[in-house]
Structure 1
Amino acid sequence: MSSTMRAVFVRKYGGPEVMQLEEIPIPRPSGKQVLIKMKAAGVNAVDFKYISNTMPEGSIPVPFVPGIDGSGIVAEIGSEVQSVKVGDRVYVTWAGHRNVGNRPYAEYSMYDERSVFPLPDNISFKEGAVLGVPYFTAYVGLFHRCRAKSGEVFLMHGGSGAIGIAGIQWARSRGMFVIATAGTKEGLELVKKVGAHHAVNHREPDHDKVIMNLTGGRGVDVILEMAPSINLAMDIELVTHGGRIGVIGTPGPIEIKPQRTYAKESSINGVGTIAITPEVVKEVSSALYAGLELGFIQPVVGTEFPLEKAADAVRVREKERSGALGQYVLTM
C-alpha cells in the first residue's frame, strides 16, 4: 500500500470552490478504527451544508475532508476491531454519532467500527455509496418518528431524490399504499419504477387535490416531507385524522395553522439520524442488508464524477437538487 493518498480538503468555509484536492499521508488505524480503501462516495445535500458552515446542528472544524457516505474495501483494522476483517466489502455512514478522522471524499478513509457495515456481493460499490444517509433517514422517519404501519397510505413528497427513493422502497416493503411526487417527467417515471403506486407532479397547480382524490377524500396517514418551507401547510391539510408528518428537508420560514394539527390530532416530527441509539442502528442496518440481498431495496445511482471533480459534483448537486434523479457519486 502506498504511503500517500489523494483527498479533498476544506480549509476554510465557503462554496464548492473552497474544496481542494491534495496529497496527504494515509492514516493508520488503531483501537476500533477501520481504514477503508474507498471505491465510491455519495454526494449528499448535507455535505454542502458542512462545507458552507450552514448546518443547523453545528459545524465541523476546518480543515476537514467532506462526505458522510461511501463504500470500499477494508484495507487495515485497529487491534480492537471485531466486526470486519481486511478484504471485506463494506459501506460506511454516520449513524448515531459523528465520526472523527478522514471522511469519504478521499482514496482512503478512516471510520469508527460502529459506522462500518457489510455490503452484499450483489450490490456494486457505487450503489453502496448511496445507502447511508438516504436509507437510514427514510427508515427512521417512517418507522420510528412517524410509526408507519402496513396498510397505511404514505405520501413521499420529493420522491425522485435519494431519500425519496429510499422512502418509497421501505414503505412498499411494509405493505403500504404509496403516492410519490416529482417535478419532471423523468422523475415521475422513476418514482413509479422504484415502487410508487401513483406519481403526482408537484409542479402542477392543485396537485394536492389530485393526492386527496387518490385517497378517496380520506387523506394520507404518513408524509415524509423534503421541502417543508413549501409544502408543510399543505401537508397538514392532506393528512387524515391521527396523521403523522416527518420533516426532513432544508428548513426555511413558513406560516402554518397549528389549530389544524390538534383538530386532526396529527403530529409533525423532525427526522434525523445523528442521535439514534445503537439498537436502532442495528435494526436499520440489518433490515437494509436483507433488503439489498433479497432485492426489494434497489438504490439508484445518479450522475457520476471522478474524485478530482468533487467541487463540480457538490455544485451541480446543490443547484439541481429540486429535480434530483437518484444520488450523485464520486468514484475513486
Structure 2
Amino acid sequence: MHLIRAHEFGTADVLRYVEDEPPKPGHSQVRVRLHAAGVNPADTYVITGTYAFLRPQVPFTPGWDGAGVVDAVGPGVTDLSSGQRVFVAALPLGSSGTYAEYVVTGIESVHPLPDSLTFEQGAAIGVPYLTAYRALFQRGGARVGETVLVHGASGGVGIPAVQLAVGAGLSVIGTAGSDAGQDLVRAQGAHHVLDHTRAGYLEEIQDLTHGRGVDLIVEMLANENLENDFDALARHGRIVVVGARGPVSFTPRKTMIAEADIRGTALWNMRTDEIAEAQAAVSRQLEDGTLKPVVGRTFPLAEAAEAQRYLMNRHAYGRVVLDCG
C-alpha cells in the first residue's frame, strides 16, 4: 500500500510518499481501505514535534480522519463487516495514520457513513465536527435562543459550527474574508454574514443584536481577534478559543466589564462520555441531512505536503482532503 510517513520532525517537507505492507487488525479493531483522508491544522503541528498534546515516535503517519470501506475485521468485532462504508473519526490521541490507503483502528473510531455522503465528505467529519460540537455545547454551553458569532465561519471547523448552531436553534452570525467565503457561510444557514477584513465590522453586531451583543463567540484565530471580540460580546458572554497561531496583546479589564468567560477547548481533552455524546449527535444529524460536510479542495495522497501548506498559508474554504485512491 501507499502511505505518507514522517521519519523526522520539521515542516511539511519531511513528509514522504512511501510503500509498505497493509497493517493487520487486532482484537476489536478493523482495517479500513481509505478513499479519502482529512487534513487538519493539528496534523501540521504534530509533524513539527512541538505540539503540546502529542509528540509521536518517528517514523509515523499523520492523520486522524478518513473515509472508505471496511476491508478486514479483527476478533471480537460484530457490529462492522467487510464492505461497509464508514468514516474514521478522531483516532485515539496516541495514534494516527489516515494519510494512507489502509488504516487499522479500534471500533470506537469507526462509524457508518450515510449513503448520501461521498468519501471526501466522510473525511471531513471527524475532528472538525467533534471540535465544533465541543466548542458550542460542551465548552460554550450554547442554549436555544442565544446568539453565536462564529469567526472564520467558512473554514474546516467554521462550517460545522454554523451548521450545528443553526440546527440547535441559535441565531448565527458568521464571518469570512471574501465574497465567495461569505456566500458559502450564508449557504450553511447563517442568519447574518460579516466581512472580517473590513475595518470596524464588529460594530455591525450591535445593530444586529439591538445593542446587546452575542452570547457566545467561537474563536478560530484568537491571536488576531480576541482583544476585539469583547466589543461584540454581551454581558456574561462566553468566548471559546478553538485556534490561535501566536500570542495576543490583551486587556484583562474587558473581562471585568462584561463579566465574561474565556474558555479554551481541545478535542484531545474530551472524556469518553463526551466523545460518545458528540459523536452520537453528529451521526444522527448526518443521517437526517441536517449536517452536510463541505469539501473545499482535494489533493492526491502523494501531495500531502502541498495540502498542508495550502491549508496553513491560504484561507481555505471548507475541508481540505486527500484522495487516497
- Whether these two folds match at TM > 0.5 is yes
Code of the residue aligned with 2:21 in structure 1: it is P
Report the CA distance between 1:56 and its aligned residue. 2.3
Match of 1:327 in 2: 319
Per-residue CA deviations over 1:255-291 (Å, capped at 9, x if unaligned) read: 2222322332211111111121222222212211221
Q: Which runs of 5+ in 2 are unaligned?
A: none
Query: 1:85 aligned to 2:81?
Result: yes
Q: Kindly report structure 1 stretches of 4+ aligned residues shifted beyond 6 Å.
A: none
Output the aligned Cα RMSD: 1.3
Choose which of 17, 24, 33 in structure 1 pairs with 2:29: 33
The CA distance in 1 between the partners of 2:313 and 2:251, in whole Å, is: 31
Matches within 5 A, 1:225-236: 225-236=219-230
Choose which of 88, 93, 96 in structure 2 pairs with 1:98: 93
Choose which of 296, 303, 307 in structure 2 pairs with 1:302: 296
Code of the residue aligned with 1:104 in structure 2: it is T
The CA distance in 1 between the partners of 2:159 and 2:57, in whole Å, is: 32
Matches within 5 A, 1:35-54: 35-54=31-50
TM-score (norm 1): 0.94
Q: Which range moves more in the overlay, 256-265 or 206-215?
A: 256-265
User: What SS does the aligned partner of 2:194 have?
Assistant: strand
TM-score (norm 2): 0.96
Match of 1:66 in 2: 62
Report the CA distance between 1:46 and its aligned residue. 1.0
Q: Which runs of 5+ in 1 are unaligned?
A: none
The CA distance in 2 between the partners of 1:132 and 1:72, in whole Å, is: 13
Report the CA distance between 1:195 and its aligned residue. 1.1
> What is the number of equivalent residue pairs in this alignment?
324
Match of 1:14 in 2: 10
Per-residue CA deviations over 1:67-121 (Å, capped at 9, x if unaligned) read: 11101111111112243222221111226x4143x61111001112221112111
Code of the residue aligned with 1:326 in structure 2: it is G
The CA distance in 2 between the partners of 1:133 and 1:270, in whole Å, is: 16
Code of the residue aligned with 2:74 in structure 1: it is G
Choose which of 274, 292, 306 in structure 2 pairs with 1:312: 306
The CA distance in 1 between the partners of 2:100 and 2:94, in whole Å, is: 15
Code of the residue aligned with 1:153 in structure 2: it is T
Match of 2:166 in 1: 172
The CA distance in 2 between the partners of 1:306 and 1:27, in whole Å, is: 21
Per-residue CA deviations over 1:38-78 (Å, capped at 9, x if unaligned) read: 01001111111111223122312211011111011111111
Report the CA distance between 1:251 and its aligned residue. 4.1
The CA distance in 2 between the partners of 1:54 and 1:183, in whole Å, is: 29
Choose which of 195, 201, 211 in structure 2 pairs with 1:201: 195
User: What SS does the aligned partner of 1:165 have?
Assistant: helix
